[in-house]
Amino acid sequence: MTTQQLISEIYKKKSFLCIGLDVDLTKIPKHLLKEDDSIFAFNKAIIDATNHLAVAYKPNTAFYEAYGIKGWKALEKTIKYLNKNYPEIFTIADAKRGDIGNTSTMYAKAFFEDLGFDSVTVAPYMGKDSVEPFLAFKEKHTILLALTSNKGAFDFQTQKIEGNELYKTVLKTSKNWKNSENLMYVVGATKAEYFTEIRKIIPNSFLLVPGVGAQGGNLQEVCKYGMNKDVGLLINSSRGIIYSSNKGDFAEAAATEAEKLQQQMKTILDGNHRPA
Amino acid sequence: MTTQQLISEIYKKKSFLCIGLDVDLTKIPKHLLKEDDSIFAFNKAIIDATNHLAVAYKPNTAFYEAYGIKGWKALEKTIKYLNKNYPEIFTIADAKRGDIGNTSTMYAKAFFEDLGFDSVTVAPYMGKDSVEPFLAFKEKHTILLALTSNKGAFDFQTQKIEGNELYKTVLKTSKNWKNSENLMYVVGATKAEYFTEIRKIIPNSFLLVPGVGAQGGNLQEVCKYGMNKDVGLLINSSRGIIYSSNKGDFAEAAATEAEKLQQQMKTILDGNHRPA
């Protein structure tokens, strides 16, 4: 999917919501455990109930790998289901991969070609030659970890390198990599005041923003400082939406929570200038 | 496996060799492609031919994920085969994972419990709460990326934070994390002169050292500066061993290459003081 297609969907749906599909079998409704593929059954119901409210879905691969081959199959079924039934949806493999050149190419093929995701999250620690293999794929997007929403972000990401925090060095350096137009960035919502500085460095890039809701981030604040002329934000919510209920009405309950966020987004978009 | 058991194996086999099982179907002998599970068939032959020369095996998960469910099955079969037939072998899932707390726990369960690896490689960028969930597992080891062997290592890892390179900050900071005795570190062999400084910070930790052979690192130099009283090194070679031949004799050829390294290691160990 091109960035322009994603932007069109955002304005069409009046939503820049991404729903995190972090499926934990101990948290889903008990009646689903009788299904052959409980994880996929849960995802399918959530997707069918919420796809008109969200522009993106983001399975975190850890939750699937934790169930071994069964989990990997559920991930594959989920992405194939999305691509077949909702091709307008932007899909994110939240995998946080990163390795040396030829190995990164293997990861890129796994997520972009084999599974067919539009994008994958990648860790920056190993530098340019660990990320560029991902950037080489046309109409695919590499979402680089910049400033994450967890406490540990302050261990290294905000440490200063010649006066600049490491995450800013990551932003600046990555702009010079080959095919850097295919980069997006992860920036946690728990630190809304950082968005002003971030937008000075990367005014045009899309940001994937976790941490709204369950982790305490504030949507209005993030939009105030983080939004750009093309919206430029994908706001992720996982637990706050998918685990709204663990009874028979779980999918409807998820849609209700998703709609609350989507309605806030609509208000923000309606107040914002939009492209012609 | 405990660190003490690993050290005993090193002295018993006169080897601190780790063999990287990075299986690329375009590089393995053609006759194996007829097998039901070509990847496992290749790994099994390599393991059976080289296990007396190596103390550790390290599948890089990217190579398995690239083949989807088939690859994931091959990885599972490989680790089960190792654990059943060669329980004295130290196993490393080279996965370079790292995510926020509850997600890291899912990854840790996937690799330590589901698959049964002794250790997993983890990226430090997200800090303490992304790594500690791995450290909580008893007799399991978390191998933190410190200084990698690729060019991109100079993008961020060697950048200075208040006079200290980032990788040194990673080493120092991680020592204060809970259960840090379960930490080992990845340090690339291509930078042997760095080992002196690294040993000042972490004198006792085991280091997993890629980059000897194919990537140009020198075994003698690494041992000179990096070895400690318990050896403290696992030297990894992947392509240099497993792709020595792509004909019917591939396993014997791999053993020949592994033995060359093991013999050098024996000479180094014999010249070194050893524990009582």
Residue A145 forms contact with B (CB below 8 Å) = yes
What is the spatial order of strands in the sheet that B164-165 belongs to? A164-165, A160-161, B160-161, B164-165
Q: Which of A14, A73, A96, A128 is catalytic?
A: A96
Helix (H) or strand (E) holding A13: helix A3-13
What sections of chain B are H helices per DSSP?
3-13, 38-50, 61-65, 68-85, 101-108, 128-135, 166-174, 195-201, 219-226, 239-242, 250-271
- Report the residue from B68, B100, B166 with minimal CB separation from A114: B68
Question: Within 13 Å of residue B266, how many CA atoms lie on the same side as its CB?
Answer: 12
How confident is the model at residue A36, as a pLDDT? Answer: 95
Q: Report residue A157 CA to chain centroid gap.
A: 19
The widest CA-to-CA distance across chain A, in whole angstroms, is 57
Q: How confident is the model at residue B275 (pLDDT cuts 50, 70, 90)?
A: very low
Q: How far apart are alpha carbons B224 and B108 in whole angstroms? A: 34
Asked whether the beta carbons of B125 and B144 are under 8 A apart, the reply is no
For A72, the closest of B72, B106, B115 (CB atoms) is: B72
Instruction: List the single best residue of B94, B99, B114 to mutate versus A (max A Cβ within 10 A).
Output: B99
3-state secondary structure of A184: strand
Q: What is the nearest CA distance from B229 to chain A, expressed in angstroms?
A: 30
Domains, chain A, with CATH or none:
3-270 (3.20.20.70)
pLDDT digits (tens, 9 = 90+) for B197-222: 999 999 999 999 998 876 667 899 99
| CB neighbour list of residue A162: distance below 8 Å, 6 or more residues apart | B159, B160
Whole-number pLDDT of residue B214: 61
Torsion over CA: A121, A124, A129, A130 (sign): negative
Scanning every residue of chain A, which has its alpha carbon at the shortest distance from the alpha carbon of B108? A66
Q: What is the pLDDT at residue B216?
A: 64
Q: Are A96 and A60 in contact (CB under 8 A)?
A: no
A96 is catalytic: yes
Q: Which amino acid is at B134?
A: F
Q: What is the pTM of this model?
A: 0.95
Q: Encode A233-252 in three state secondary structure.
A: EEEEECHHHHCCCCCCCHHH
pLDDT in tens, B137-160: 999 999 999 999 899 999 999 999
Q: Does B130 touch chain A (CB under 8 A)?
A: yes
pLDDT at B16: 98
The pLDDT score that the predictor gives to residue B190 is: 79
Nearest residue of chain A to residue B112 (CA atoms): A66
Q: Count interface pairs A-B at CB distance under 8 A.
A: 175
Residue-by-residue DSSP string for B130-145: HHHHHHTSTT-EEEEE
Q: Catalytic: which of B96, B128, B260, B266? A: B96
CB contacts of B154 in chain A (<8 Å) are: 127
| Residue A95 host element (H or E) | strand A90-97
Which residues, given as ranges, of chain A have pLDDT below 50?
274-276
Q: Which residues of B touch A135 (CB under 8 A)?
A: none
